[in-house]
A = this chain, B = another copy of it.
Amino acid sequence: MPNLVPPHGGGPLKPLLAADAEKADALAKAASLTKVPLSSRELSDLFMFGMGAYTPLDGFMDQSDWRGACVDMQLSNGLFWPIPITLSCSRDIADSIALGEEVALADEDGAVVGTLRVTEKYEIDRALECENVYRTTDEKHPGVQKVMDQGEINLAGPVVVLSEGHYPETYKGLYFRPEETRAMFEERGWSKVAAFQTRNPMHRSHEHLAKIAIEIGDGVLIHQVLGALKPGDIPADVRVKAIDVLVDNYFVDGTAVQAGYPIEMRYAGPREALLHALFRQNFGCSHLIVGRDHAGVGDYYGPFDAHHIFDTLKEGSLLTQPLKIDITFYCRKCDGMATGKTCPHGEEDRLNISGTRLREMFANHETVPAEFSRPEVVEVLQAYYDSLG
């Protein structure tokens, strides 16, 4: 049987979550340590460390790795890494910590979620990070904003993760760690697996993307971004139900798996597409579906920048390959689903419904066309909108 793609770096998965037996002791000990508060992005990165999604990193990056990730997407040991994973704190907290000291990492409520042995304290050039990673220093960009708002000093060092937060409980049956998705793929005999990244219910255009991946591989991982919702977002349980009815009614048994993971989006467009592919390698996915303007926001990136960046990588940087697909839609003249690459017809033949218009249709109980969304999916979403009162 062919094997799954190996974890990034070629070694074993490296989940940094402490074993259950050690957690109570570690938490008790952490009570006396200096507390470093985590931002929501830093906390989400800690959870990614915990589950092994950032294999083979040991913890938050030092200055040399930070610079390498920013400038040439390469750590000081030569490993490919396209976005810095860093932790910051105020100058006051940093001054109170000695090198070699172990500190406690605290979530937004002050609860200890992990520990860090501080190996380096350093200042960064924020503009350099933003220009390289986000291609802009515009503070209206939500990713840039978080870099600009972060503490003055970065702390580096290996981490031990002591909590996965509410995720395992809230997203039971959905929150799967890389070793778990790998076991699921192996159980199904899959080796060529594409990840489909989503934070929304799946309509027919998303079904089409997933089915292209199924045609050329063994199966698709419908991989949901969990975490903080934006206003108007569909809650995860409704989203899961809407995806379940789609898969149950329109996918061949055993060709799709749902899972979720705790990252906070940076909206870094092309660089983030690379990070998405990198950690999908850890989840066991040989491919990542990269659509138009993947992980983009506003007009900061060209629609295919996230496709092109994969062509610039040195051979062997990433084993997980992009499955580059243009915008998808129903076309009346094609009499079916198509993409910008397979449909020669005009906008007037294509069925496009914006998110805003779709919410309006649900609010007014208008009929959502079956060419846009499967009736079973519409029914789940209509019930949700109705429940909002």
Contacts and interface: CB of A to CB of B under 8 A. Distances in A.
Interface in A29-44: none
A343 interface: yes
A216 B323 contact: yes
Q: How large is the interface on A (under 10, 10 to 19, 20 to 34, 35 or more residues)?
A: 20 to 34
B335 A371 contact: yes
A340 B336 CA distance: 17
Interface stretch (A87-95, A245-253, A273-281): A245-253
B339 A215 contact: yes
Contact of A343 (B252, B325, B338): B252
Contacts of A199: none
Nearest to A218: B341
A334 interface: yes
Contact of A252 (B253, B333, B344): B344
Interface in A358-388: 370-371
A112 interface: no
Given A215-B212, A215-B325, A253-B344, A337 B339 contact: no
Chain A binding surface SS class? loop
Interface string A211-247: 1101110000000000000000000000000000000
A96 interface: no
Contacts of A339: 215
Contacts of A154: none
26 contacts: A2-B311, A211-B338, A211-B342, A212-B215, A212-B216, A214-B341, A214-B342, A215-B339, A215-B341, A215-B342, A216-B216, A249-B344, A250-B333, A250-B334, A250-B344, A251-B342, A251-B344, A252-B341, A252-B343, A252-B344, A253-B344, A255-B341, A335-B336, A335-B370, A336-B336, A336-B337
Interface of A: 2, 211-212, 214-216, 249-253, 255, 311, 323, 325, 333-344, 370-371
